[in-house]
Amino acid sequence: MSLDGPLRFVTSTEMSVEQLPWGQHEWLSRPGLTAANELLLVRVRMPPGLGHAFHRHPSMEEIIYVISGRAEQWVETTSRLLGPGQTAHIPRNLVHATYNAGEDILVFLAILSPALFDGPATVDMSAQEPWALQRVAGRPTDGEAG
């Protein structure tokens, strides 16, 4: 954050970077960085073979927008392969997961709303049925988007 308060413009110098088990998160908008109360924006760089296992956001809806690479995107029990320029919408509290389905780093934007809420941001569902068995073959089971 700047000395004058929340940022209006965020560059690679100002973004907040977190390393999570499924890849680097580059926060471009979140409380404390910008004054946005309704939107969160994070660019994720997910290495091959990694993924953010089944989880849900009780208070937020989410849009995934693929910049580069191939995403195996799950929303509930439906999966699709997404490439650059393709999106997935995840309504509030629906279980979903994102895996890198390619040999290169998957880069995508996650846009979540609202930015301010009560309760947990994420609830892990990966060990619960039916989610624990959804990704048996490591790829979508019901088709793919071109």
Model pLDDT for residues 60-102, shown as the tens digit of each residue: 999 999 999 999 999 999 999 999 999 999 999 999 999 999 9
pLDDT at 137: 43
Q: For residue 72, how many other CB atoms are within 10 A of its CB?
A: 21
Q: Give me the mean pLDDT over the 30-54 stretch.
A: 94
**Residue 121's domain is classified under what CATH number?**
2.60.120.10
pTM for the complete prediction? 0.87
Residue 140 lies in a domain: no
Residue numbers of the domain that contains 116: 16-133
Residue 138 lies in a domain: no
Residue 56 lies in a domain: yes
Residue 75 lies in a domain: yes
What integer best gives the mean pLDDT of the chain? 90
Q: What angle do CA 109, 88, 120 make, to 5 degrees?
A: 70
Answer yes or no: is pLDDT of 2 > 80: no
Model pLDDT for residues 99-128, shown as the tens digit of each residue: 999 999 999 999 999 999 999 999 999 999
Please give the full DSSP string across 42-62, using - where no structure is assigned.
Answer: EEEEE-TT-EEEEEE-TT-EE
pLDDT at 142: 44
- Of residues 3 and 31, more confidence is placed in 31
Residue 65 lies in a domain: yes
User: Which of 50, 63, 55, 60 is CA-nearest to residue 138?
Assistant: 50
Residue 23 lies in a domain: yes
User: Which of 53, 67, 51, 55 is CA-nearest to residue 108?
Assistant: 67
Give the C-alpha separation, 90 to 78, whole Å: 12
Residue 146 lies in a domain: no
Residue 74 lies in a domain: yes
Check: CB of residue 118 under 8 Å from CB of residue 57: no
Per DSSP, what are the bridge partners of residue 112? 40, 62
Q: How many domains is the chain built from?
A: 1
Give the C-alpha separation, 84 to 66, whole Å: 5
